[in-house]
Amino acid sequence: MSIWFKKVTPEDLNNLYMKTMVDHLGIEFLEIGSDYIKARMPVDHRTKQPAGILHGGASVALAETLGSMAANLCVDRNRKMCVGLEINANHIRQVRSGFVYGVAMPVHIGATTQLWDIRIQNEKDKLVCISRITMAVLNLGSLK
C-alpha cells in the first residue's frame, strides 16, 4: 500500500524543480516506490569542495530535497504544506567523482510532524551520509 496522497512520476518531480537550486546541482529524481523516493546527484564542480571531494552541504541539499518532497507528497497540498524544522547529517565516506544516490524513507508520518531518514550511497552502494529531517505539517488556511 502506498503512503503517497497522489500519484506522481519522477519526471513530474524533475519538471517541478527546473530552474531551481536542485536543477543547478544536477539532482535528478529516479524512482518513487510505495514508501520511498530515490534521487541521484553528480559529484562534480557544482557539488565538490576545494579538496576535490563531495561537499557535505551538497549531501544535505540532496537529503533535504528528498525529505521535503516526500513529506509534501504525503499530504493534500490543497489543504496542507510541509516545511523543514530540523535536519542533521553524519558524513561517513568521501566521494571524488561519479554520482551519489539518496533514498528517503519515513520514520514517522503524523498529523503535525513527519520524520524522514535519508541514506546516501556511492555508486558501489557504500554508505556516504545518513541524514534525518523533521518536517512540520502546516494547515494552509492558518497561513493567511
**Contacts with 56 (C-beta within 8 Å, 6 or more apart), sequence order:** 49, 89, 91, 129
3-class SS of residue 112: coil
Is 64 annotated in the active site? yes
HSE (side-chain half, CA atoms, 13 Å) at 128: 30
Q: Are 62 and 120 in contact (CB under 8 A)?
A: yes
Q: Residue 130: what are its φ and ψ, rounded to 5°?
A: -120, 130
- Which is the catalytic residue, given 11, 28, 64, 123? 64
- Residues classed as catalytic: 64
